[in-house]
């Protein structure tokens, strides 16, 4: 039962990547447009004041905002798609039905009990207008609930057979009807449950949102949960629920750090009082905290690995290390580097997560206020350099300290522990196939390394890893998987393997699906 629960949590965590995957690039676009339409930016770059240009920029910003105005719908669809094992399209369709019914059911409850707040007081009692319906603001949680319900109903009833007289409503259509019916009692119970759940999350919030140490605890937990694939769940909880605090801005409450940041960053700007009051507290949990990892820690670890590589292996190691460093620097994907030492030397990884927790703490003390979710060099340029009052120089100073600490600690420990990091193995991993994008050959090697087609039960992938269920893990050929270019191979449980390919993973997955279908 425990193993099954962990599996479900991992799948749930991966399903959150779908909505986050659209929010990150659109958020960057919205942030850029928002910056260029702010008065302070026009003062610095007068050409931005052109009316036609401002119309274009503001229009793009408005179009982009639709994503963030409908985050619960994104989560409903993403969770339904990620959690359903069968008929994923029906699951997604059912999740929207469920979410709409949920909103209206809670509206009916509020009306019937006389708790429907006046428009000007909605924010104070946790209510709001969603898709034109005044209801309880369950935000992303409402979408997640609908997505989970739709996925479970789909897997359970998509093949159900009804008596002949009702045959038209059998199978997939029954899922839609059941989604409607099952959501009604959930919508009536949710106001009670939501009150309890909110109190629990608020109780957790002082730990995670403690200033200045909460960001350190969050960073430590986030890195520690990566091997289990649960870091996305933690991130979503802090970003979208009361665990990330309830922030009051101009008399209106914003639940979770990302909702608060969106309003301050995109609507109010650096001149508003909330910028100095809120941004330094929440940005260490988002982009500025992640920038320490992608722009400073990962390059420092990479340099330590290169300097400790055996002389005869440095040339090959340089290609591997440079690839994983650039993947983090440009794409915010840190797992290839982390998996390069996580299982080779667990002590290194324990030190890594502890240092990550400690060294993020100064950000809030130094009033670093660089927005958004991702931590790439592009985010630093857009949200750090182009905005005022970000104190980006303080992030650079903290980053340099991080670089020095991580470089010397890793260099010392790699040698002390004789860790077989890239360049220190007896046989080096060949990444020629990955560099040349020969994904078909990689897929064939992976299939052979997994014991052939007949040994593969189910294939899935996340941002950087293949996740494959096997019939028998004893017949795995690890050397072939290394030959395919995998930067990490491990078994989180019996007959279930994770193979790390970094940003190449989706292309490898597609070719592997095609190879197995032959």
DSSP-derived pairing of the beta strands 252-255 and 246-249: antiparallel
State phi, psi for 382 to the nearest 5 degrees: -75, -55
Identify the CA nearest to 204 among candidates 158, 245, 164: 245
Q: What is the pLDDT of residues 116-164, one digit of tens each?
A: 888 877 765 667 888 999 998 887 788 989 999 999 999 999 888 888 7
Min mean pLDDT across 5-19, 44-58, 162-176 is at 5-19
Question: 92: number of CA atoms within 13 Å, CB side?
Answer: 11
Q: Give the whole-number percent of the chain exceeding pLDDT 90.
A: 42
Check whether 233 has a pLDDT greater than 90.
Answer: no
Name which of 19, 66, 47 is nearest 266 in CA terms. Answer: 66
- Select the more confidently predicted residue: 125 or 512: 512
CA 222 distance to own-chain centroid:
11
Summarize pLDDT for 21-75 with one digit per residue, the tens: 777 677 767 777 877 887 767 877 889 889 999 999 999 989 988 887 888 899 8
| Model confidence pLDDT, tens digit, residues 234-266 | 787 888 878 888 899 998 889 889 999 999 998
Q: Which two tokens stand for residue 498?
A: 């994770």
Distance of CA 419 to the CA centre of its chain: 30
Confidence of residue 198 (pLDDT cuts 50, 70, 90): low
Q: What is the pLDDT of residue 451?
A: 92
Q: How much is the mean pLDDT over the chain? A: 86
- The residue with tokens 């055996």 is 310
- Spell out the residues 6+ positions from residue 312 whose beta carbon is closer than 8 angstroms to its own: none
State mean pLDDT over 353-381.
91
| Count of beta carbons in the 10 Å neighbourhood of residue 79 | 29
Each residue's pLDDT tens digit, 435-475: 788 899 999 999 999 999 999 998 888 767 888 989 998 89
Residue whose entry in the numeric block shows the structure tokens 């969050």: 218
Q: What is the pLDDT of residue 3?
A: 65
- State the DSSP H helix or E strand holding residue 492, giving kind and residue range, or none if neither: strand 488-493
Domains and CATH numbers, the chain: 2-201 (no CATH), 214-282 (no CATH), 285-417 (no CATH), 432-517 (3.30.1360.60)
Angle between helices 51-69 and 71-83 (to 10 degrees): 50
d(CA 305, CA 285): 28
Indicate the pairing of strand 127-130 with strand 496-500: unpaired
Q: Which of 87-101, 286-300, 399-413, 471-485 shows the lowest mean pLDDT across its residues?
A: 471-485
Tell me the C-alpha distance between 6 and 12, whole Å: 10
Average pLDDT rounded to a whole number, residues 204-227: 87
pLDDT band at 220 (very low <50, low <70, confident <90, very high): very high
| Greater model confidence, 216 or 339 | 216
Tokens, residue 424: 């220190």
Rounded CA Rg of the chain: 25
- Alpha-carbon span 121 to 325, nearest angstrom: 50
Structure tokens at 53: 């240009």
Q: Could you report the per-residue pLDDT of 307-340, keeping only the tens digit for each?
A: 999 887 787 788 878 888 887 888 787 877 887 7
Residue 71 in tokens? 């985050």
């Amino acid at each position: 039962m425990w193993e099954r629960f962990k599996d479900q949590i991992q799948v749930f965590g991966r399903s959150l990547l779908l909505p986050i995957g659209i929010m990150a690039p659109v958020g960057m676009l919205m942030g850029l447009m928002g910056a260029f339409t702010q008065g302070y930016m026009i003062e610095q770059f007068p050409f931005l004041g052109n009316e036609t240009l401002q119309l274009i920029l503001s229009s793009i910003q408005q179009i982009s905002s639709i994503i963030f105005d409908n985050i619960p719908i994104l989560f409903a669809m993403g969770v339904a798609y990620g959690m359903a094992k069968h008929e994923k399209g029906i699951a997604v369709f059912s999740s929207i039905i469920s979410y709409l019914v949920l909103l209206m059911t809670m509206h009916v409850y509020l009306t019937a009990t006389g708790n429907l707040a006046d428009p000007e007081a909605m924010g104070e009692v946790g209510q709001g207008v969603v898709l034109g319906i005044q209801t309880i603001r369950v935000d992303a949680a409402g979408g997640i609930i609908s997505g989970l319900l739709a996925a479970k109903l789909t897997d359970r009833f998509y093949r159900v057979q009804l008596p002949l007289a009702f045959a038209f409503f059998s199978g997939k259509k029954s899922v839609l009807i059941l989604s409607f019916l099952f959501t009604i009692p959930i919508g009536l119970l949710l106001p009670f449950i939501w009150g309890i759940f909110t109190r629990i999350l608020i109780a957790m919030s002082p730990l995670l949102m403690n200033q200045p140490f909460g960001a350190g605890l969050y960073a430590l937990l986030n890195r520690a949960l990566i091997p289990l694939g649960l870091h996305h769940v933690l991130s979503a909880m802090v970003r979208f629920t009361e665990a990330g605090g309830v922030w009051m801005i101009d008399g209106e409450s914003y639940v979770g750090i990302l909702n608060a940041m969106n309003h301050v960053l995109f609507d109010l700007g650096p001149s508003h009082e909330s910028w100095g009051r809120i941004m330094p507290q929440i940005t260490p949990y988002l982009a500025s905290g992640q920038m320490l990892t992608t722009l400073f820690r990962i390059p420092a670890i990479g340099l330590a690995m290169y300097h400790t590589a055996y002389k005869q292996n440095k040339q090959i190691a340089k290609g591997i290390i440079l690839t994983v460093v650039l993947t983090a620097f440009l794409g915010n994907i840190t797992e290839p580097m982390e998996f390069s030492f996580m299982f080779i030397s667990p002590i290194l990884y324990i030190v890594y997560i502890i240092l990550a927790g400690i060294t993020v703490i100064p950000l809030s003390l130094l009033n670093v206020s660089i927005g958004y979710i991702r931590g790439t060099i592009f985010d630093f340029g857009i949200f750090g350099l182009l905005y005022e009052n970000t104190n980006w120089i303080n992030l650079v100073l903290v980053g340099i300290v991080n670089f020095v600490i991580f470089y010397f600690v890793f260099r010392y420990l790699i040698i002390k522990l004789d860790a077989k990091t890239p360049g220190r193995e007896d046989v080096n991993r060949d990444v020629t196939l990955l560099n040349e994008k020969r994904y078909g050959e990689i897929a064939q090697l992976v299939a052979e390394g997994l014991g052939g087609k007949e040994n593969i039960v189910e294939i899935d992938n996340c941002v950087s890893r293949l996740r494959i269920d096997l019939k028998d893990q004893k017949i795995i050929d690890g050397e072939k998987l290394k030959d395919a270019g995998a930067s990490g191979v491990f078994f989180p449980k019996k007959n279930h393997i994770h193979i790390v390919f970094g940003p190449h993973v989706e292309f490898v997955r597609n070719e592997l699906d095609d190879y197995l279908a032959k």
